Chain A
Amino acid sequence: MDSAASARAPPHPVQNGPEREPLFRARDLTKVYPSGESEIRALDGLDLDLYESELIVLLGASGSGKSTLLNILGGLDVPTTGTLTYRDLDLTGANEDDLTLFRRDSVGFIFQFYNLIPSLTAKENVALITEISRDPMTPHEALALVALDDRMDHFPSQMSGGQQQRVAIARAIAKRPEVLLCDEPTGALDVKTGITVLEAIEHVNQTLGTLTVVITHNAVIADMADRVIHLSDGQIVDIQENKSRRPVRSLAW
């Protein structure tokens, strides 16, 4: 499949019609990092549209540009050239304050190493977000979504890795974000725990209709996605559309 062409084409209809406006629209996105006398092109003229409710898996080797793309989508970084819009917001020319506001209101992040605040309990870690959001769920609701409402008063050090990652998911989704960005969410976990975490992500995607982008090294995980985007050397080499998503429960690696 021609990657550039298909990336620009409307995606496979997921729930609604093909005339839907994309949430993210990236055109000729390039990110160049200076590296001594040479430079690294982390993203190299990338075109991409991402839609509401989609579950996207980004696959690619180390250095293929997955994380750079995710960071730029999440407003943690800005492209060197090209344009990126989120609805009507131009993320290319946004300043620090706009990006902070964008992250605060619209984006949920999940990291490989959970990044919970160790001095706060599960509930309080979630409350960190709900205190500054416009229309949040209660911490209790968010934790219930990841099936951790019975661990609300535990500190991170009192929970397993999988539980900590689910708290991180609850924290990310408590503000009802339109976008959930997950960077190797299962990278630090064993298979069984990884499955429970992915189930939580799948559950959130399905119940809240949040556009979810998951970075992974693990090709098996790709089966849970609507679309699988393969990156290499900062370019999209393939976009694979799954006719039907495999339930996480049935995945194994």
Chain B
Amino acid sequence: MLSPLDLKLLRDIGKMKGQMVSVSIVMACGLAMMIMARSLILSLESTRDAYYADHRFADVFCDVKRAPNALRSRLARIDGAATVETRVTGSAKLDIPGLAEPADATVISLPDDRPQQLNLLYLRSGRLPEFGHADEIVVGEAFANAHGFEPGNEITATIYGARETLKIVGIALSPEYVFEARPGETLPDNKRFGVFWMNERDLAKAFKLDGAFNNVLIKVAPGASPLGVMAELDRILAPYGGLVAFDRHDHPSAQRLNDELRVLHGLSFAFPAVFLSIAAFMSSAVLTRLIRLQREQIAQLKAFGYSSTQVGFHYLKFAIVIVAGATVVGGGAGMCLGTGVVQVYHRFFRFPELHFHPNWKMFGVAFAVSAGAAFLGVIGAVRQAVKLPPAEAMRPEPPAEYKMSIVERIGLSKFLSTTFRMAWRNLERKPWQAFFTAFGLALATGIPIVPGAMGDSIHYLLSIQWDVAQRQNVTVSLIEPGSASALTDIRSLPGVMIAEPFRTVPARLRFGHRSRRLAVTGLPRDAYLNRLLDDKERAVELPPNGLLVSAKLAEILGAKVGDPIILEVQEGKRPTLEATIQGTITDYAGVFAYMEINSLRRLMREGGTVSGAYLSVDTNHWDDFLARVKEAPRVAGVFIKEAVRGSFKKSTGEMIGMITTIYFTFAIIVSFGVVYNSARIALSERSRDLATLRVIGFTQREVAAVMLSELIILTVAAIPPGLWIGSQLAAAIVHTASTETVRMPLILTPHSFAMAVVVVLCSSALSFAVVSRRLSQLDLLGVLKARD
């Protein structure tokens, strides 16, 4: 049996359900995002950790030019190394039927004379290659799905210049290719890049690595430091052309996944915080108003003998109901959204299974956080209400005191209609209430800017990357650095109008105690195709000596222009060189270091060596070009800009579109909720005045104008600061969503601002319309009989 106070609670809630629901929904939006992001984090992290553990993902990785298998036992003795695996890896060029351009694959060996110990495959279907079957391969799932490959299908591949027909026997996943993309690439291009696994002996033969390996994986013993293992590994492999060892932190797939988690962590905090603070303001406004209206009831309850605590708790229960509703709705919505989004994530991050794990702990936290926010908003009004002695509270509040508004005192009154005068004076009489309402409206204006800015930011990033900076339509990379004649061969391909060589040299860049593994890229000084840009999109000319680095790289190294950088080259004679940072460039994906190509060659003591070329190919000769380049034995990979762009639009674009839509929907809900709630409070506070006006002959429309003029003033006043707040919010969120892999520039377009204004004006118009309808239900007689 409910107590009479709880019955009163239920009925009061029934009477003000519109407002309770609007506050609850705004809160629910914040909670939905929080629970969605937190649950995604939990899902991804727990799945990742279990996958890495079950499939024995290595801790340390290293490439080497050629090391004899006899070295294995020495590697196994490295202090702190629990398990060591050696492999052969390389790349293959693929000729896929139906795909005009060539694709490429990373081919990885599977041990055939011993069990596989690290980076175990998860076979989705089929089987592993059988011993002695040189043509059998297992294919990575993302690539297989992109082409609809199944066990039994065949693929033509060029491995180390030899053309072979390979038979797919299995489809698999690997913990080292959770993000199945070319190392260092930001976006997956599953149509043109795949991962193949085949028997070690056969692959070694194909790469002329009989009895040797070129890749090492190490599982570090519990408690041991990967750093020590890496140092020792580097020392042992150095004579064999070992590149710098790295740990999971620098592993391309692991890093990409970590970046995504970092973004989710940021978003799980930033957006909900804004939404929950708006909801706190709203619940404060609603309940403060309720308590003021029930002043006499509170006095009566106290006169009957209810304690202040009981009465106070009664009003806090309103907040609890709002928060509980929000938690249920927000939690449900968060789980629905999360279940959908996790499927999209599963397309990017390949796990054997990726299930949505609701973060139940987060439900508790969400409830506590929003209850805390709501309590803070309400506690002041509750305290004021229970503090009043019953006799005093039972008397109606003294008449509201008004004075001339500032606008009138400075002599502008003749420009104001009576309606506007009322509005101005009301606003000035309760400046804090006006401020908080305007603040809520400003946030409602600002929030829709964020998804707009995110979309524009991605759009800008890609147009800079693909249209302004990179003017080539094809990039060709060679299997091994080639001589000047290789460039001549490329130039002679059909349709090639411009060919600009590039030279990439893998190196470790070191400044002080910080370092970074990457490839230093040498470009011609007067590059026309692949250009380097500054933060104003102006082309930057390469200095004759020294480095131009991504601004982000300078930040990572803690270096500035003029600082000397140590280059530990990981190729050829592996010299250790020094080069000065001559300037920084602005780029948005990955980090790069550039040098003038001849200056790089001089440092490397080599002639006209090239690693590949950027091409401008005449599209009239497109088919000829592709046919020839597929055959070219020295070409390792061909990257076609339009193809990558198309695949981006289909995959990543779709995902960004979905996230943006979710945020935009939430923004609209908040915008509507805030305006509706403000209008309802205005209606409740002014109902007596409005009823009086109706009685003395004002039409409904005229009365609506009186009620709305205050809100119109506030809405108009809130828009400019709202746009500013939105910009700041967008900056913060874009910053949060920026990682080393992708750095989102803050792009604010008039379109985003206009959209935000349209959203807030439409939701204003809609909520005004909804509230105005209630004017017809004004109790003209009742309101005149009762005192306020």
Scoring A107, A108, A155, A171 by chain B CB atoms within 10 A of each residue's CB, the highest score goes to A155
Instruction: Point out the residues of chain B lying under 8 angstroms from A155, CB to CB.
Output: 401-403
Given contacts A119-B402, A119-B429, A129-B696, contact A113 B784 (CB under 8 A): yes
Given A77-B781, A155-B402: A117 in contact with B422 (beta carbons within 8 A) = yes
Q: Is the CB of B697 within 8 A of A103?
A: yes
A74–B784 Cα gap in the complex (Å)? Answer: 14
Q: Does B93 interact with chain A (Cβ within 8 Å)? A: no
Beta-carbon contact of A131 and B784 below 8 Å: no
Question: Which segment, of A46-54, A79-87, A120-128, A202-210, faces chain B?
Answer: A120-128
CB distance from B397 to the nearest CB of A (A): 11
The reply to whether the CB of B695 lies closer than 8 angstroms to some CB of chain A is: yes
B693 at the interface (CB under 8 A from A): yes
Closest beta carbon of chain B to A165's beta carbon, Å: 13
Q: Is B699 an interface residue (CB 8 A)?
A: yes
Q: Which of B425, B785, B787 contacts A119 (CB 8 A)?
A: B425
- The residues of A that contact B695 with a CB separation of less than 8 Å are 74, 76, 103, 109, 115
> How far, in angstroms, from A183 to B781 measured CA to CA in the complex?
11
**CB < 8 Å neighbour of A109 from B400, B425, B696, B702:** B696
Contact residues in A for B698 (Cβ distance below 8 Å): 100, 104, 132
In the complex, per-residue mask of B678-697: 1 if CB is within 8 Å of any chain A CB, else 0: 00000000001100111111
Closest-by-CB residue of A relative to B787 is: A113
- Contact status B422-A120, CB under 8 Å: yes
A170 contacts B by Cβ under 8 Å: no
Other-chain residue from B398, B401, B689, B781 in contact with A117 (beta carbon distance below 8 A): B689
Shortest Cβ distance from B780 into A: residue: A76
Report the interface size for chain B: residues with CB under 8 A from the other chain: 29
Does the CB pair A128–B693 fall under 8 Å?
Answer: yes
Q: Taking the nearest CB of chain B, how far is it from the CB of A108, in angstroms?
A: 8
The answer to whether B517 has its CB under 8 Å from any CB of chain A is: no
**Which chain B residues in 695-721 approach chain A with CB under 8 Å?**
695-700, 702
Distance A109 CA – B787 CA, assembled complex (angstroms) = 17
Cα-based distance from A186 to B114 in the complex (angstroms): 106
Is B780's CB under 8 angstroms from A117's CB? no
Tell whether A119 pairs with B697 under 8 Å between CB atoms, given A76-B780, A111-B784, A113-B787.
no
B residues within 8 A CB of A157? 398-402
Looking across the interface, which residue of chain B has its beta carbon closest to that of A77?
A: B781
Nearest residue in B to A118 (C-beta to C-beta)? B400
Bound CA–CA A155/B400 (angstroms): 10
Tell me if B418 counts as interface (CB < 8 A to partner A): yes
A118-B400, A119-B429, A155-B403 given as contacts; is B418 within 8 A of A131 (CB)?
yes
A124 neighbours in B (Cβ, 8 Å)? 418, 421
- Measured in the bound complex, the distance between the Cα atoms of B398 and A129 in whole Å is 25
Residues of B close to A105: CB separation below 8 A: 697
Q: Report yes or no: B692 in contact with A76, Cβ–Cβ below 8 A.
A: no
Q: By the criterion of a CB under 8 Å from any partner CB, how many residues of chain A are at the interface?
A: 38
Q: Kindly supply a per-residue 1/0 record for chain A positions 161-199, scoring 1 wherever the CB is within 8 Å of any chain B CB and 0 otherwise.
A: 000000000011001000000010000000000000000
Tell me whether A100 and B699 are in contact (CB under 8 A): yes
- Asked if B258 is at the interface (CB within 8 A of a chain A CB), the reply is no
B426 within 8 A of A: yes
Q: Is the CB of B784 within 8 A of A128?
A: no
Docked CA distance A115–B696 (Å): 11
Q: Once the chains are docked, how many angstroms separate the CA of A87 from the CA of B780? A: 25
- Which of A67, A108, A117, A172 has the most chain B CB atoms closer than 10 A to its own CB? A117
CA distance A71 to B782 in the complex (A): 11
Q: Quick one: closest A residue to B428, CB to CB?
A: A119
Q: How far is B706's CA from A119's CA once the two chains are assembled, in angstroms?
A: 12
Q: With A and B bound together, what is the CA distance between A96 and B777 in angstroms?
A: 12
The answer to whether B784 and A119 have CB atoms under 8 Å apart is: no
Contact with B along A110-149 (1 / 0, CB 8 A): 0111010111100010011101110000000000000000
Residues of chain A lying within 8 A (CB to CB) of residue B702:
132
Q: Is A19 an interface residue (CB 8 A)?
A: no
Q: Given the interface contacts A77-B781, A113-B784, does A118 sit within 8 Å of B696 by beta carbon?
A: no
Q: B-facing mask of A225-246, CB < 8 A → 1, else 0?
A: 0000000000000000000000
Residues of chain A within 8 A (CB-CB) of B780 are 76
Which residues of chain B are near A11, meaning CB under 8 Å?
none
CB contacts (< 8 Å) of B400 on chain A: these are: 118-119, 157
**Which residues in B have their C-beta under 8 angstroms from that of A132?**
697-698, 702
Cβ of A150: which chain B residues have Cβ within 8 Å of it?
none
Interchain CA distance A167-B702 in the complex, whole Å:
22
State the CA gap A74–B694 with chains docked (Å): 12
In the docked arrangement, what's the CA distance between A67 and B398, Å? Answer: 27
Question: Hey, which chain B residues are within 8 Å of A120, CB to CB?
Answer: 402, 418, 421-422, 425
Do B699 and A119 touch across chains, with their CB atoms under 8 A apart?
A: no
Known A76-B781, A129-B697, A132-B702: A118·B692 in contact at CB below 8 Å = no
For chain B, residues 386 to 425, give those with C-beta under 8 angstroms from any C-beta of chain A. 398-403, 418, 421-422, 425
CB-based contact A128/B426 at 8 Å: no
Check A60 for interface membership: any CB of B closer than 8 A.
no
Partner of A103, one of B402, B689, B696, B700: B696
Q: Which residues of chain B are near A65, meaning CB under 8 Å?
A: none
Encode B753-788 as 1/0 by CB contact (under 8 A) with A. Answer: 000000000000000000000000000110011010
A77 to B699, CA, bound (A): 16
A2 to chain B, nearest CB (A): 32
Q: Considering the chains assembled together, what is the distance between the CA atoms of A111 and B788 in angstroms?
A: 14
Cβ contact of A100, chosen from B399, B429, B697, B781, cutoff 8 A: B697
CB within 8 Å for A97 and B699 given contacts A76-B781, A77-B781, A120-B418: yes
Residues of B within 8 A of A129 (CB): 696-697
Cβ–Cβ contact B697 & A117, under 8 A: no
- Is A119 a contact partner of B426 (Cβ separation < 8 A)? yes
B402 pairs with A115, CB closer than 8 A: no
Interface centre among A67, A108, A132 (most CB of B within 10 A): A132
Find the B residue at minimum CB distance from A105.
B697
Nearest chain B CB to A166 CB, angstrom units? 16
A172 in contact with B781 given A119-B429, A155-B403, A157-B401 (CB within 8 Å): no
Q: A70 → chain B, closest Cβ, in Å? A: 10
The smallest beta-carbon distance between A112 and chain B, in angstroms, is 8
A-B contact pairs, 29 of them (CB 8 A): A67-B781, A67-B785, A71-B781, A97-B699, A100-B700, A103-B695, A104-B699, A109-B695, A113-B784, A115-B695, A118-B399, A118-B400, A119-B400, A119-B402, A119-B422, A119-B425, A119-B689, A120-B402, A128-B418, A128-B696, A129-B697, A132-B697, A155-B401, A155-B402, A155-B403, A157-B398, A157-B400, A157-B401, A157-B402
Nearest 3 Cβ contacts at the A-B interface = A104-B697, A119-B425, A115-B692
